[in-house]
Structure 1
Amino acid sequence: MMLLTLLYSCIGGAALLYVLYRWVIPAVVQYHTGLALLWHDIIEERMLDMLTRSTRPQRLLHAVQKNATRGDPRSVINAIDQFCRHKEWAMNVGDEKGCILDSVVSEVNPSTVLELGTYCGYSTVRIARLLPPGAKFITLEFNPKVAKIARQVIAWAGLEDKIQLVEGASGDLIPKMKEQFGVETFDLVFLDHWKDRYLPDTKLMEECGLLKKGSILLADNVICPGTPDYLEYIRNSPRYKSQYFKSHLEYTKVEDGLEKSVFLG
């Protein structure tokens, strides 16, 4: 009888923990900036890494390989969105802000693009699929393990010929863009890397002459986790005209947004 009671208690406890993990905690953190990042980006990720003996990027890649059609960028995007909404959160730009990104890329129709922060290649695929023939697209990723996953995601989407993924620190690579990569200026720059690098990398691009009159900077996560020094600079500098696009942190209800800034010269 005692063993039966213990068994029922274990089953009930496991069921409660599952309900808390799958529904209660995600619902609670949906609207709270600090809790959302703490739960999704630290606690949940570390717990799943330990239980599965894999990494979040590896699990995301598996979802793409299982659910997306080779050579179909749209299906790759959908597979990642489904994974992040229903299985495991990840720090992509996401579907809601992704639509804003799509509209800016389509509006600019850039021939040269720089992405700072590839991560697993989600936004890279979103951008590349909309570029005109012959466009030059360079994306920078600091973490070589993540870059390895991104290359596979990009290849699964059939876009490897349109994208040049470069591993290394943005501060080291930006000054080499003209000489090493043959780019004079960028029509569009998408900032989605370390938030404390937004401002120094923007100033570095200015110093290196990589921005021309009409160049567009599009910055993600300017509210959550936030880039206050970048926003203060970009919104008050006479060299830029900026516009904020209100949205939400990827796959949550936490306010976030994109800042679109036109370089005036």
Structure 2
Amino acid sequence: MTVEMWLLAVSAPLLPAIVAVSSRYGDKVSTLCHRAVAWLLRLVRGGVCARRTHAFVFSSCTHGNVHSVLETFDLYADTHASAAIGPETGEVLDDVVKRVRPSRVLELGTHCGYSSVRVLRLLPPAGRLVTVELDPLTADLGEEIILVAGFKHAQFQVLTSSSAEVIPTLHSVLEPAQKSSDGFSLVLMDHDAQQFLPDLLALEEEELLCSSGCSVLLINRRQRAEDLREILDHVRVRPDCFCVKMERPCVVEIFYQKDKAGL
């Protein structure tokens, strides 16, 4: 059974109620239902993709060898749909990590663990990655791949939650001695593009963006400019603390700095 057929089977019993509510509230309900189905479809497809990618990488790579893990990911992506961002976007990510030299990284959207592995291999010995994944099964698969690559739990933490729910709790994830103003110096957003702006605002509100400078990478998987329009419009009207540092079809880098003089 395809994902689309499964969704139809699940939603069929709800159709009478949906029709009744839609007749009263019209377009608002229709739009809401469309967004809910689209979100569920992305979630299910992402889980299926992560399972298949995980199975191939786990069985084909050399365990404990980070380079083998990444090469196996890329080999799989040559012939299959993959949740991994791929080597091209991965090299852009590498360049940013090397330039920023972060000690604390936040990743929103673990997926199959590919980006997590790329980031972790470039962090300093005391560096740490916090990665967030909405789907519990995908989170478990991604965590296993990170461990297969040779990294230890002391170097990373996988949180299973929505980004909106997890952001207010991230202070407790950082070391107790670490001040909130010295939060994450690199944030990777690779989840729902509709959450990019709300999550950026929440991270700023919670003072989780390093005040001396934080790079926020937006992964534009569909490479559609309209997916990033809202967050980029917001950034461009706030030159006091934001600027667009790099803009490519697959990835955009936003730079945050609380001190305007540093921009």
What SS does the aligned partner of 1:261 have? strand
- Structure 2 Cα separation of the partners of residues 109 and 181 of structure 1: 18
- Structure 1 Cα separation of the partners of residues 221 and 69 of structure 2: 26
Give the structure 1 partner of residue 33 of structure 2: none
Deviation at 1:172, TM superposition (A): 1.1
Point out where structure 2 has 5 or more consecutive residues left out of the alignment.
1-40, 259-263
Give the structure 1 partner of residue 246 of structure 2: 244
1:210 aligns with 2:205: no
Q: 1:100 aligns with which of 68, 92, 102?
A: 92
Q: TM-score, normalised by structure 1?
A: 0.72
Using the aligned pairs only, state the percent identity: 31
What SS does the aligned partner of 2:253 have? strand
What SS does the aligned partner of 1:138 have? strand
Deviations 1:96-145 (A, max 9, x none): 01000001001111111100110110100000011001112100011001
- Structure 2 Cα separation of the partners of residues 127 and 192 of structure 1: 13
Within 5 Å, give how 1:62-81 maps onto structure 2.
62-81=55-74
Whether the 8 Å contact between 1:222 and 1:259 is mirrored in structure 2 is: no
What SS does the aligned partner of 2:212 have? strand
Point out where structure 1 has 5 or more consecutive residues left out of the alignment.
1-41, 247-255
Give the structure 1 partner of residue 229 of structure 2: 228
Deviations 1:139-179 (A, max 9, x none): 00110010111111111101133211111111111111113
Deviations 1:186-237 (A, max 9, x none): 1111111111110000000010011113111111107625222112212332
Deviation at 1:261, TM superposition (A): 1.4
Give the structure 2 partner of residue 34 of structure 1: none
1 or 2 for the larger relative contact order (CA 8 Å, sep ≥6)? Answer: 1
Change (3 A) 1:57 1:223: closer
Whether the 8 Å contact between 1:222 and 1:231 is mirrored in structure 2 is: no
- Structure 2 Cα separation of the partners of residues 178 and 56 of structure 1: 32
Deviations 1:27-78 (A, max 9, x none): xxxxxxxxxxxxxxx8xx97xx9xxxx9322221121123211111111111
Whether the 8 Å contact between 1:112 and 1:186 is mirrored in structure 2 is: yes
Within 5 Å, give how 1:179-198 maps onto structure 2.
179-182=172-175, 184=180, 185-198=183-196
1:174 aligns with 2:167: yes
Instruction: Please give the root-mean-square deviation of Cα atoms over the aligned residues, in Å.
Output: 2.2
What SS does the aligned partner of 2:213 have? strand
Q: Which amino acid aligns with 1:85?
A: D
> Which of these two proteins has the greater Rg computed from alpha carbons?
1
- Structure 1 Cα separation of the partners of residues 52 and 199 of structure 2: 31
- Structure 2 Cα separation of the partners of residues 74 and 235 of structure 1: 38
1:111 aligns with 2:110: no
- Structure 2 Cα separation of the partners of residues 137 and 235 of structure 1: 28
